[in-house]
Structure 1
Amino acid sequence: MPYPDLPLPDDPKLVQNLTHFARALRKAGLAVGPGRVLTALQAVAATGFTTKPDFFWTLQACFVTRPEERLVFQQVFNLFWRDPRYMDHMMSLMLPAMRGVQDEQRAADAAKRAAEALLDGAEGPQTPTPETEDEGDTRIEIDASQTASAEEVLRSLDFEQMSTAEVAAAKRMLARLSLPVRPLKTRRLVADQTGRRADWRRTLRAAVRTGGEINTLARRRAATRWPALVVLCDISGSMASYSRMVLHFIHAVANQQGQGWARVHAFTFGTRLTNITRHLRARDADSALNAAGHEARDWQGGTRIGHCLHQFNRDWSRRVLGQGAVVLLITDGLDRDAPDLLAHEMERLHLSSKRLIWLNPLLRWDGFAPRAQGVRAMLPHVDTFRAAHSIASLEALAEALSDPADHGEKARLMTMLAP
């Protein structure tokens, strides 16, 4: 059914503008599809184009579904509909150094996402080539020789060696990764007609209703439950570039449905322990990690692994390590505390968890050896010892979780600890 004409004599291209606006919202992270664009057109046609606040609230009601999306929508709306020179304005937000202002505060997450969405594909004029000037030649040549290998190279590239553009691409790849887990069998039994065990109590109870005659045999099976994932991430100075990328991956795991984890708990530690679990519940990864960074005031500071593990074992282990929890410990093992304290707290953590996996970015070096006192104290008390310096190493973590016999590099390094 065609939509009625809108009273817009000054701008008769509202449909095209709304479509472009919806694309900008989609690139900024909002789940906007063609159906919502049609709904927005119907809503604007019903309400009319009277005042800009009415137009704003009408479009927000059509495009925004979550509270965290309101700020992004407001940024994109203000720059797209209210400022005709939004390109210049967005360039000023993204490149403040062009104005000579070196100490200008960085733009907010929503503003940067709006800038990337509105400026996507905006390029300067290109110099015509002889091929393009020839109107009779309609051949289109596409060089795709590097497209397949670029993502493969990025998968194996070290996080610390990535450029800004490569970090952004790596974050998008990490958001697509998953960390599935298998359910755990318990000693508790539940009714299941296809189960392997006979349920004599239910069978005899049913026989009472038929005068003692057993017509069917009730069965049951072992109940299953999903474990929790507990992440302890080192945010000291030597781990800053790696912990940021790993936390992006953990945020994606915490917000993906259907992976099997009962809950995902996240803690950061440097000189003190900080619980950032509630911050990871935000849908937007940048906002979640910025909020976690404000909460963890020891970011890029020193390292006291033994002291922080003592705080976790004392205050949090009984709350989050029940029901067969899996612990991911992300640290390089370079500790300033006494090795005896660290070994004792690692033993307590290992005994409290079903599986303790240590991810160490220093394993990227082929010649890595457990020479540091912290590494020597921690290594005997972990189940799996793996690297965490690239996207490929985090992808291999899913294989380690699915194989209980996987110990990574622990066996090889344990031979170096022998006197």
Structure 2
Amino acid sequence: MSALAPNLLAFGRVLRRAGLPVGPAETLGAAEALSHVPLSDRTAFRAALRATMIHRRDHFEVFDTAFDLFWRNPDAPVAPFNPDEPPPESLPPAARRVSDAMPGASPPPPPAGEQERREDAALAVSDRERLNRLDFEAMSAEELAEAKREIRRLALPLAERPTRRFRPDPSGPRADLRATIRASMRLGGEITTLSRRRRVTQPPPLVLLCDVSGSMAHYAQILLHFLHAVANDRSRVHSFVFGTRLTNITRALRNRDPEVAFQAVSHILPDWSGGTRIGEALARFNHLWARRVLGQGAVVLLITDGLDRGGAEGLAEAAERLSHSCRRLIWLNPLLRYAGFQPRAAGIRALLPHVHEHRQVHNLNSLRALVATLSAPARNQGKSA
């Protein structure tokens, strides 16, 4: 029992290095739970740790792999960890991520002078290019951490659009007769100067609708970092996630600390990594939120693979109404990473006619291309796939 506490702390560090949000609270909760189960019962031991340290269903695979490797299950499907051998490329992404996070997985530190030079320098060109092209699903724990840092540096500028309001401006293009008359009253009605004004411009609202169903779980985890970065970089950003139902996470993502924000999201999200009802979610958004958040030429980013378990019932009608309610509806689809992609699923066929752009989103390059697209003037030639 005396060795349990340090081993539990080390296991928590492994989970954190593997990309799971495990902190002191989860570790203390696990220690408390283990005091109520027999330590000789491996099934109860695993269940107690998973119930107290994991908050999302899509983290179960990483946790189970880490548990088998750390607590040395001889029947584990993944070979025991050997720090002298790099993890084979054929391992599943979760196994590679845990293998990288295990103690001893990191190479020995370089000499002091070389380490300082590495800390001061950015990623090598070849490493950066590989990271930019690498699929989010295939990234190791270290690569995911670097990708999240790169995402936090992304800026998402949107071209400013004119509003109905005006502000005083001595060099403005329009004369302000009311302000001119008010100023003249102080001089007995004599007009000495002509007041001028300029129309106020500001970026349009940005609405993010992200699919967090089972088929999107691997991408939703990293794309939530993109949503968090965007929400903390600009004003008038409204974030929603959906699986079998629609959930507004705008307030939760306002926290500057991403882990605190995602912890809040996990507490209000009832259907992470579950089923998908895209048509029902979009219809609910149109009914409850469209008039509140889609004014002044809003831009909508719909992040989903289009695989609707409900048979795409009502999806075409909901997507058409959403398209007419916003200035640009951009569909971000990770399935476009496949060269032979064909719109065969009913949900994809229902969505395609009603989106203005259909773009891939599976790596850093695709996110940077999205930023470049949103920074460019909108095209008015109609919808494109």
Q: Normalising by the residue count of structure 1, what TM-score does the alignment of the two structures yield?
A: 0.63
User: 1:271–1:301: 8 Å Cα contact kept in structure 2?
Assistant: yes
Matched with 1:292 is 265
Match status 1:327 vs 2:300: yes
Is residue 2:13 matched to residue 1:94?
A: yes
Q: CA-to-partner distance for each residue in 1:104-162, whole Å, 9 max, x for gaps? A: 246589xxxxxxxxxx9x979999x9xx9xxxxx9979899983321221111111111
Aligned residue in 1 for 2:199: 222
Q: Percent identity?
A: 51
- Matched residue, 1:404: 377
What amino acid is aligned across from residue 94 of structure 1 in structure 2? R
* Other-structure match for 1:68: none
In the alignment, structure 2 segments of 5+ residues that lack a partner are: 16-38, 56-100
Partner of 1:182: 159
| Number of the residue aligned with 1:303 | 276
CA contact (8 A) 1:203 1:216 kept: yes
Stretch deviating more after TM superposition (339-348 or 149-158): 339-348
1:232 aligns with 2:209: yes
Q: Does 1:271 align with 2:244?
A: yes
CA contact (8 A) 2:297 2:326 kept: yes
- Cα distance in 1 for partners of 2:106, 2:326 equals 59
The answer on whether the counterparts of 2:356 and 2:382 sit within 8 Å (CA) in structure 1 is: no
Alpha carbons 2:159, 2:377 under 8 Å: kept: no
The counterpart of 1:152, out of the listed 126, 129, 140, is: 129
CA distance in 2, matches of 1:243, 1:125: 27
Matches within 5 A, 1:407-418: 411=384, 413=385
Q: Does 1:383 align with 2:302?
A: no
1:255 aligned partner: 232
List alignment gaps of at least 5 residues for structure 1: 1-85, 110-119, 133-137, 414-419
| 8 Å Cα contact 2:166/2:199 also seen in 1 | yes
Question: How big is the shift at 1:390?
Answer: 0.7
Contact map agreement 2:354 2:383 (CA 8 A) in 1: no
Distance 1:268 1:213, change over 3 A: same
Question: 2-side partners of 1:125 and 1:293: how far apart?
Answer: 31
Higher relative contact order (CA 8 A, sep 6+): 2
1:257-281 deviations in Å (ceiling 9; x for gaps): xx4x3x2221111111111222212
For residues 126-165 of structure 1, what are the structure 2 equivalents within 5 Å? 147-165=124-142
Shift in CA distance, 95/251, structure 1 to aligned 2, threshold 3 Å? closer
- The CA distance in 2 between the partners of 1:214 and 1:107, in whole Å, is 73
If the length of structure 2 is used for normalisation, what is the TM-score?
0.68
Cα distance in 2 between the residues matched to 1:310 and 1:349: 9
Q: Name the CA shift for 1:198/1:179 in 2 (closer, same or farther; >3 Å).
A: same
Counterparts in 2 of 1:391 and 1:139: CA distance versus 1, 3 Å: closer
Q: Which amino acid aligns with 2:321?
A: R
Bigger drift between 150-159 and 174-183 goes to 174-183
**What do the CA deviations read for 1:282-320 (whole angstroms, capped 9, x no partner)?**
222123223323322221112111111111111122222
For the Cα contact (< 8 Å) 1:309–1:345, is it kept in 2? yes
**Whole-angstrom distance in 2 between the partners of 1:126 and 1:317:** 52
CA distance in 2, matches of 1:140, 1:349: 55
What one-letter code is carried by the residue in structure 1 that aligns with 2:267? Answer: H
Residues 1:167 and 2:140 aligned together:
no
Task: Indicate the residue corresponding to 1:4 in structure 2.
Answer: none
- Give the counterpart letter for 2:262 in structure 1: L
Which 10-residue stretch deviates more, 265-274 or 213-222? 213-222
Q: Distance in 1 between matches of 2:366 and 2:381?
A: 11
Deviation at 1:188, TM superposition (A): 3.0
Letter in 1 for 2:10: M
Q: Distance in 2 between matches of 1:126 and 1:251?
A: 32
Q: CA RMSD in A?
A: 3.7
Amino acid at match of 1:268: V
Q: How far apart are residue 378 of structure 1 and its match?
A: 1.2
Larger Rg: 1
Q: CA deviation at 1:247?
A: 0.8
Structure 1 residue 241, shift from structure 2 partner: 0.8
The answer to whether the Cα contact below 8 Å between 1:274 and 1:296 also exists between their aligned partners in 2 is yes
8 Å CA contact 1:237, 1:299 repeated in 2: yes
